[in-house]
Structure 1
């Protein structure tokens, strides 16, 4: 039976451990809320484990036993017991000051997970290397002052164009670097962005006030940017020197002003570049192409689309989110076929027609898929990240899009089709 002292230590969810020279500093949390899953971009893990990787990277020695040492296993057992997990799936992040080759570590970690006597059996369901400075050096604890140690559900509210979360659980606070409110914007930032429109600011302020965070220190904004939109975001977050200040103080950035409008001291912006120039596509006729489908019959997009609403999808067999999305595309075609909706997928990975035919059979797909579409995807549609789906009106004009695919996005795809049919 564990000592009372060890039991108490193990129950501290956000505490970094380093009791022995070779014992790793780490944190481990149960993954319980939708916000935590969004931040980790996974719905297939039950436990989050973050390890200080500097002792590994400093001497370039890969020691998988460091990842699943006695202290780590003890903490994992506590989580498994408390959450009553029968087949625990673990997401591992290795935090390092400087990047190093983590591929060998990942392979050996998989072996270590497979060989451990941990019961019930641990399954490794994702690994990631985070560089740029380990968080174990000076700030191991990301909980709020007077914050209960137990996990609290992260409250979510949404409006047209964004989702907003009150960040309360210790894991979510760690993943957002201590943010009080986390906002995800639907619409990407384009090259002409300078500031958020007053209507969006007012709606967001109303939602944030309703979420009622315990503190108003930090707001974290996550959004996608187009290929050129990243420069606009950088400008939005940058501070200019005040020419009238003899000491060279800086003026508030547009992001600082935005934070003040919402009642916060600071606003940090996290971006994901889509690698696509939506500015050059939306509102314009979709570029035409002629490619062969899975039965080696040539399809001309403009002829295929004539007079119909088109769901034009770019994807690949080797792309896991694409594979999750594909059956829903067939469902869309079936659901809206009598209203003049057609679905077509372009294989942007240049996978063979035979591989596409096998994939169609395996997933029971019924919408056409054209092969060898990498050049069309990259040069005509500037697509470099999959899946990417465009929505064309009956005149063949691109009116909307959807990038990526997560669980629940099938509802978003359906709503975009319905909206296009209404107009």
Structure 2
């Protein structure tokens, strides 16, 4: 039987526009987020037995260089790269070490130091990891560069054609997430916009305007995970949050079935969610707060359906119902999500973990979504990986 896994400490930096903080390199980011997580757990770094460190853009042992800011203890440090799902993949691997009984206290940390502007490839002398995905999409859609807004925008257009979803419904997601971020001191943007502002901002790829797209960002997030015996021995149960379900999937054959939504990860998400619900005994209606991967507003709407918050095709109606914000059934992306909080690729999944841990503890300040008993996390990376995680407050 797998060991129980608890989040006992979380920390993150403020997410920033790339290069905004002079002299702020990835070691400084990691020191800040990691120190915050250790302080939150009330432990020293020498208690950590393994570390999983995620980043997308960096040299081969940047993970070691990052955590050396916390201490030099000789522990295994594993570098992790899974595109935009990197942070949650580090979280998944750290949890697996505890589930398997290989460690009792593990650090998951993610960071990113990015360049301004749209994402591009680093190595142009070899096959691109998403080459098959882009080719499959090119067979059913016009081709536009940069790839990311084209891919998710095409999935949004597909949904509009199949289900009558409107540009205004996608824009409402951007309006919601920017509004949520006003109360998040860690967010890259903390400005509210009207629906008209969102619709009227610069068109990136119809129907996606600039205020419906996540920015490039610098920043870091971290979590300390512990086993049940460690939690008991160190008296950490009062603030511990249990991971009650977690699944990671990669592409299925259905990714290339000719639908844009599956090319951008719909089926990966759906299959991971099914496994998490089975593990945890919880269903979509049992969660009060959800942090999901809104790299573009179109993906948030698709993810509503993949997670089972509504039936396939009903995402637009769910947006109009008001059930995904304060006063509704779920508060989705109380942090502001990727669209407004920011998206430093390696840090995103761990920032989601931090937000949900604070929500479950009742420590989210003005963002607090009432009494939260269960929370759900979703993070994807094309090429591909999806990680879905369910959390509950520890019951001891």
TM score, norm. by length of structure 1: 0.24
TM score, norm. by length of structure 2: 0.25
Which structure features the higher share of helix residues?
2
Q: Which entry has the higher C-alpha Rg, 1 or 2?
A: 1
